[in-house]
Homo-oligomer: A and B are copies of this chain.
């Protein structure tokens, strides 16, 4: 496809995922995606040993690192491939935006060199990039929460009462406590997102999204006070001033122009505007047409991330965070989440689907998922006689408890795989409804849901069940790569309207973001049965999730005592 068929005003969006980076060329006029190029990270997720030649360095359990040079390789490979594929004239690329997994962070020198590139530090795991799913900082997170609770830190409520081990301060504190010399060598501790923009622009900047959602910053109050950090560890007192920054730029800001070196990597023109960094989930909201309160965006994949906008702040039980300017400048962005959704279906297919179902799927030319969907769609709401609690990976919103486990109830000798599969889908839908109702209880409107991500496109039954269970109309974003589209949209905003981009993300969203034609509307009969089942779900949810019956934690404790595993490790 040649870009010459478009408007001549294009933006490049680069989406840094967990296994690969993806560059997409988007028409600023209408959001048409003219081409995509993917580069798979050479070192992928580093969770067992460091890459060659240091493969003798073994990582402990729950570690997950990445190689920052893999990100540079995306610039050097995916973007030139995109230009070649689309035939775009680099002069017609008005802006560049990126989005990233988060919190993925790394320690660098003052000029941004990752510590893992230094000869004397490259064999030190703490010198590498800590990927979002690095879960080894749980003791630090426990300490962060305990000290915050003890001191009555007001910001804790913005995070649903609990800071995750995945987040910035926990990961930073882990470096300090476990490798104080590496910590000392780190002039900067920085989000991968911001580092990636720094590599394009030559200028360090920090975006409001990751600062707000992952590093306890708020536009109004800034970071927690130094004496809080001192209470965590005396050496940590000035971490913000020493290794981070108090200058936080709102989303849509032009972070800088492409450097000569980055121009050489990418094949784009030096000076091309680059947007401040963004996060994959949050950048999906405007790419799914959502820039105003009332519509919840559900980014549905292995897990679900919910993004919702509000005119004012609110404290919502178990939310991941509320950040002013965190999604769309001028609004409060709420984030909530379900820790496992597609992962549960994948677990089921991997571990619980009988050979007969696989063979039947093969015979019909379907994937196992599609076969199960077809069979499950033949059942009525309530027809399985089953209900599940969708806590295979704990519960983020609203219970914020990683030690919870899954539950299935109602099996008989006649229960079959399709019924179990449907019950698991329903359970994740009930999980979404709990979150919707938590927002409403806190006075935050939820009138409809727009879904994006891998699941909604593939699974019509799932979307209808979600509509029936929540009683809300569901639409699906037209793009199958909303993060990259969103990143490109912010690139267009960094360019500005006069340069062929857009003056605001709201304008960009109106022009460039679209919904698919299909609407999933609640079926009254299904909704009525699901109301009944939701009563059952909610009672079990509260019984097992709020301390009424601690069987799930007791089972973890017993397992830990016989296997020596960490009770929270989950497997």
Residue positions of A touching B, CB distance < 8 A: 340, 343-344, 347, 350-356, 358, 380-387, 392-393, 405-417, 420, 529, 532-533, 536, 539-540, 543-544, 549, 551-552, 554-556, 558-559, 561-563, 570-571
Chain B residue contacts of A561, Cβ below 8 A: 382, 529
- Nearest CB of chain B from residue A416's CB, rounded to whole Å: 6
Chain B residue contacts of A415, Cβ below 8 A: 347, 351, 392, 406, 571
A558 to B525, CA, bound (A): 13
CB-CB nearest in chain B for A344: B413
A358 to B563, CA, bound (A): 27
Which of B350, B414, B420, B551 has a CB less than 8 Å from the CB of A354?
B350
A350 to B354, CA, bound (A): 7
Chain B CB within 10 Å, residue with most, of A412, A414, A420, A562: A412
A355 to B571, CA, bound (A): 22
The reply to whether B554 and A549 contact each other, CB–CB distance below 8 Å, is: no
Which of B387, B405, B420 has a CB less than 8 Å from the CB of A409?
B405
CB-CB nearest in chain B for A358: B355
The reply to whether A529 and B562 contact each other, CB–CB distance below 8 Å, is: yes
The reply to whether B552 and A410 contact each other, CB–CB distance below 8 Å, is: yes
The reply to whether A562 and B354 contact each other, CB–CB distance below 8 Å, is: no
Chain B CB within 10 Å, residue with most, of A344, A393, A558: A558
The reply to whether B352 and A387 contact each other, CB–CB distance below 8 Å, is: no
- Nearest CB of chain B from residue A329's CB, rounded to whole Å: 37
CB-CB nearest in chain B for A394: B412
Using A393-B412, A407-B408, A410-B555 as known contacts, say yes or no to A383 and B539 having CB atoms under 8 A apart: no
A563 to B555, CA, bound (A): 36
Which of B529, B533, B562 has a CB less than 8 Å from the CB of A383?
B562
The reply to whether B529 and A551 contact each other, CB–CB distance below 8 Å, is: no
- Nearest CB of chain B from residue A375's CB, rounded to whole Å: 12
A305 to B423, CA, bound (A): 32
What 8 A-B pairs come out closest when comparing CB atoms? A414-B571, A406-B411, A405-B410, A385-B559, A355-B355, A382-B558, A410-B555, A382-B562
- Nearest CB of chain B from residue A345's CB, rounded to whole Å: 11
A356 to B556, CA, bound (A): 27
Chain B residue contacts of A358, Cβ below 8 A: 355
Using A351-B417, A539-B549 as known contacts, say yes or no to A556 and B393 having CB atoms under 8 A apart: no
The reply to whether B549 and A533 contact each other, CB–CB distance below 8 Å, is: no
The reply to whether B414 and A570 contact each other, CB–CB distance below 8 Å, is: yes
A-B contact pairs, 17 of them (CB 8 A): A343-B413, A347-B411, A352-B417, A353-B355, A380-B562, A380-B563, A381-B562, A383-B563, A384-B559, A392-B413, A405-B409, A407-B407, A407-B411, A410-B551, A529-B562, A536-B555, A539-B549
The reply to whether A555 and B383 contact each other, CB–CB distance below 8 Å, is: no
The reply to whether A351 and B551 contact each other, CB–CB distance below 8 Å, is: no
Chain B residue contacts of A343, Cβ below 8 A: 413
Which of B340, B409, B562 has a CB less than 8 Å from the CB of A551?
B409
CB-CB nearest in chain B for A567: B385
Chain B CB within 10 Å, residue with most, of A340, A352, A408: A352
A382 to B562, CA, bound (A): 7
Chain B residue contacts of A555, Cβ below 8 A: 382, 385-387, 409-410, 533, 536
- Nearest CB of chain B from residue A538's CB, rounded to whole Å: 11
Chain B residue contacts of A532, Cβ below 8 A: 554, 558
A386 to B412, CA, bound (A): 18
A551 to B538, CA, bound (A): 11
